[in-house]
Structures are given as C-alpha cells and as structure tokens.
Amino acid sequence: MKKISNNIFAWILIMASGLLFSCSDSFLEMAPKSIISSDQLLTPENAESMVISAYAELGNDHYTAPNSLWPYADITSGDSYKGGGGTGDIWEFNFLELFAFNTTDNPLVDQKWYRLYVGIGRANEALKVVNQLSAEEYPKKLARQAEMRFLRAHHYFILKTMFKYISWIDETIEGNAYNEVSNREFSDQELWDKIAAEFRFAADNLPETQNDKGRPNKYAALAYLAKTKLYQAYEQNEQNSVTNINTSKLNEVVNLVDEVIASGQYSLFADFGYNFLQTHDEGSTESVFSIQRSIEDGTPTGRLDWGNALNYPMNPEYGCCWFHIPSQNLVNSFKTDATGLPQFDAFNNSDVLEGNDFQENTFDVRLDHTVAIPGHPWKYDPDFIYRKDWARATQIYGHFSSLKENQHYECACFEKVPPFMASSKNTDIIRFADVLLWKAEALIELGRQDEALPIINDVRQRAINSTAMLVDKDGNPVSNYGMDIYKPGENCTWNQDFARQALRWERRLELAMEGIRFYDLVRWGIASEYINKYFTEESVKREYLKDGQFTKGKHEYFAIPQNQIDFSKGLYQQNNGW
C-alpha cells in the first residue's frame, strides 16, 4: 500500500494563470493576490509545480472517461459486455458496444476527448514555464521537458487511436489560437510522425532510471516509440483500410524493443497474476509505464483508481456495479485442444458456463486470472468463492465478472467510495509482455516468424507456470489446465500464416480486459469482419447484441464529437462515414 509523503503524487498543485490587467493608475497596476503573473511563474519551484500538475491529470480519470480504456477497446471488441443494471445503465457505453446506435454527439466520447486535451494542455502549460528558464537556474530543465513531451505524446497516442484525425496543439500556441488549429492540418502518417518525435525526444533526454516511480525513463519512452512505429506501420487509406505494411517501420520496432530488452530493467513476472495484485506494484519488473495510485496520502480519498470504480460485483463485500463483464466468446477462447494449443477454429462451438464445464474441457491458465467464474475463488482466495448472485443483470449479460482490475476487499489498497469501490492498484499503460509481443508481431510480418517463436513461447511458458494461486482449499486446480508451448513439427506447422494467427490469439489471451483489443483489430485491418461475426454468433446468447452492426470504413474510429466541431466553428472535419 502506498502512503505517499515526499513523492510527486503525494500532493497535487493545480496552478492557475490569471489575466493581467493594465491601467494608468499605479494603484490599479498592483497584481491582485489571487492572480499569478507570468513573471511570478518563472521560478524552478513553480516549474516543478506545473510539472506535477501535468502528472496529476494522469490519475484524474473517472468511470465515465476511464484511463484504463475498457469502454473503448474491450466492449467494442467482443471481449466484454458493458454490464451494469441493463443496456440503459450508462447508455452511452451501450451505444459504443453496438456501434449502430452511436452518434456524433455521444456525451461520454466528447468527455474523453476533452479530458485528453486537458492533459495535453497541462503539459503545454508546464513546458511554457520550463522552456523560459535557463539550464543554469533550473538544472532539471531538459529532463522535465522530456517528461512533459512524453506525457503529451501519451495523450496524443490515445486520441490518435480513438479518433484518427486530431488537432495538434503544443506550447507554441498562444491564447485562444488553438481554436484556429484544424484537425486536418496533418495527414494520418504525419500525425504518427509528430507523436514519434515526442517519444524520440523523451528517449534521448530521459535518464535510464528514475527515483520517482511515476516518472517515465528512457526505456519507457523507447517502448512507447516502438508502439507508435508498430501502429504507424499499418498504413491506412481514408476509408480506414490497411493498404500497406511498412517494413521499414517494422524493423524500427524490432530494434527499439531490443534496446528495451537490453536495458535489463524488465522481465516477465514469475506468475502472470502478480500483474493484477496491488501488492506487487512496488518493484514491479513487468510494468514499463503505469499511472501511479495511492491511498492515505493526506488527501480525502487518495489517488485511487476511479476509472474502474464500476467494475466490482454485487456481493455485500463490494456492492456495486458489475460493469465490464467478460463475454461468452472471450471465455470460450481460453479453451485448448488435446495438444495444449488454442482451439483456433472450434473454440466457440460450445459454451463453458459453470461447474463441470471447467473440468471436462481444458484451458489456458490465464482464464482464471482474467474471469471470475461461479464456484471458483475470487481474487485467489479459496475461502471467498464467486457466486452467480454476485452478478447483476444475468438475463442480459450472463454471470461472469472481470477480475484483473479488481482488488480483494481485505487488501489495504481497497477503499469504498460510496456507492462505488476503488483501489490504489497502479494502472499499467505498458506491460513488458505487451512489448515482447510487439516485437514478435513485427518479426512475423517481416517473414522472420522463426525468430518470433521463442518470444511467444516465453509468454506462454510464463502462463503455464502461473497455477500456484489458482487452487481451491484442498490445493486442487480450480479449472482443468491443459496448455503447451508451440512445438513446430510436433503440435503445429510454424509458417507465417500460422504464426500470425498464434500471435494474434496470444495477444487476446495475454491482454484480455486490459483496454487494448479493439485497437489491435483496427491496426490489423480486420475489425469489420471480426466484430460482425461476433455479433452474429454472440447475439444468439445475448439477445441485445442483435442490434449490433459494425460499418466498415466508419466504425474503426469514433466520430469527432459534434461539440468539438461546433467549438471550432466548423473548422474540424468529421471522420469518414459519420
């Protein structure tokens, strides 16, 4: 449990820049006490406060616009249902899930856009102060510039993957001139180049290690740069179709990930489940960059994870609100065949629901780290068994629950914030397993699938070894685990097509319910066929999904919010198809 005192997340100072007034009367020229002049801000102390304010925005999320991204990438991908009390409970997310009903004026999409630009604005305001100080008076100048450009790029990366065409606003934009910046000033590829340049600057100027865990280091910047290059490599046309895979960018991904690996700072946790326990936040070897949370830090409720506050089940120990529910399709996808590999083609032929279903089939170990199943321990506690009546709207969404983001009620990190729940578990933005799989993906697309094989197998082997916490009171495995690594010539034929399928399946099971899946589908150019197939199959089990329809060339990205188009007085252009 983090009880922060002298840490950048221990206190949050939001600096407000006031308007400067001029008048011939010398008395009126005195600065009011409540207003800070620009000259007064130009001190190292105030620069540090502005930097802290920019970091604070990372943790200022809310369940209506979470930084964990589950409403934008899990419920839109077929990995989860919205959940809650029914389709009308936060209807805005239900519209995201079904696509067909989503509109250009969805208020929660507008809220997410706004909050991301608030984060960019704070980084810009900090840079305006930091840039004007000399290195002599502010020795941390270059490092703080690198940190702020990293944070700014982080916000821009999310905006880019959500909206494709965005307005680029940096610290050089004066006053209200941001109203005059078009979201089509830069092309699709030019926007990726802008984001990449931010991370490159950060990587070139950040230290290799940081004393404050919340600050990114050189290798976090290199990892984020690799992620940017990977997304950029899948070149799209105006209709959002992938028209080319840029091999030069893929080679950059491989080289950048190799630098991160060579740093020796990161490794896979011995147990997959450690990633999802707050007790393993401190000293994590797998977290490359995360939002730092805290509790009992001198503030009323700490820097808690409000983005997942709705996602706990309905039992007395929690009480609300059962959102972010694993889909039946996702649960079925953990089934393995007689060789211990995924059932690529047959996984969804039958449903696994409860009881003997989880003994009569074999499964990938990551199932019980990801999904709460009736009769199985909740959060690794054999004396705390998940029950069907912990679910809320079972007739609509079934009876599973999400596990990864939720913490045990007895954890010192857990706090009730009535009527919701929250914890001080850090929010991982980049895990090392994700980084390794980026390299594997790039290698496969480069035709170097044999080099990708040991990477994928390392990730699978860690999963195979992660059964120690998945036992009942008698020490027996709670599901029938039957999982193996890929063994060419023995249980598979390892060519490029098969390797691509294996990689994409591995990403789904490794990163399920972590707010990533939809962006993978869009990057690969398969979102339309994949999601519409999901609607067809899953609507037989979940009737409300019969209204789901993904439109190719439109739904790969959210609409530019109409509020923002109006605010720009029509300067912003709407995305294709909307």
How do the pLDDT tens digits run along the chain, 578 residues long?
444 433 333 333 333 333 222 333 332 333 444 455 566 779 999 999 999 999 999 999 899 999 999 999 999 999 999 999 999 999 999 999 999 999 999 999 999 999 999 999 999 999 999 999 999 999 999 999 999 999 999 999 999 999 999 999 999 998 788 888 999 999 999 999 999 999 999 999 999 999 998 999 999 999 999 999 999 999 999 999 999 999 999 999 999 999 999 999 999 999 999 999 999 999 899 999 999 999 988 887 789 999 999 999 999 999 999 999 999 999 999 999 999 999 999 999 999 999 999 999 999 999 999 999 999 999 999 999 999 999 999 999 999 999 999 999 999 999 999 999 999 999 999 999 999 999 999 999 999 999 999 999 999 999 999 999 999 999 999 999 999 999 999 999 999 999 999 999 999 999 999 999 999 999 999 999 999 999 999 999 999 999 999 999 999 999 999 999 999 999 999 999 99
Distance (Å, rounded) from C-alpha 145 to C-alpha 198? 10
Q: Give the domain ranges of the chain.
A: 42-239+515-577, 323-427
Distance (Å, rounded) from C-alpha 463 to C-alpha 483? 9
CA atoms within 13 A of residue 77's CA, in its CB half-sphere: 28
Cα–Cα nearest to 516, from 76, 57, 154: 76
Let me know: does 85 contact 529? Beta carbons within 8 Å. Answer: no
Class of 42-239+515-577 per CATH? Answer: mainly alpha
- Taking the model in full, what pTM does it have? 0.93
Give 422's contacts (C-beta < 8 A, 6+ positions apart).
301, 304, 305, 306, 308, 309, 414, 415, 416
- The angle formed by the CA atoms of residues 259, 260 and 265, to the nearest 5 degrees, is 130
Q: Is the peptide bond before 413 cis (omega within 30 degrees of 0)?
A: no
Cα–Cα nearest to 279, from 263, 266, 268, 295: 295
Distance (Å, rounded) from C-alpha 116 to C-alpha 296? 27
Let me know: does 81 contact 75? Beta carbons within 8 Å. Answer: yes
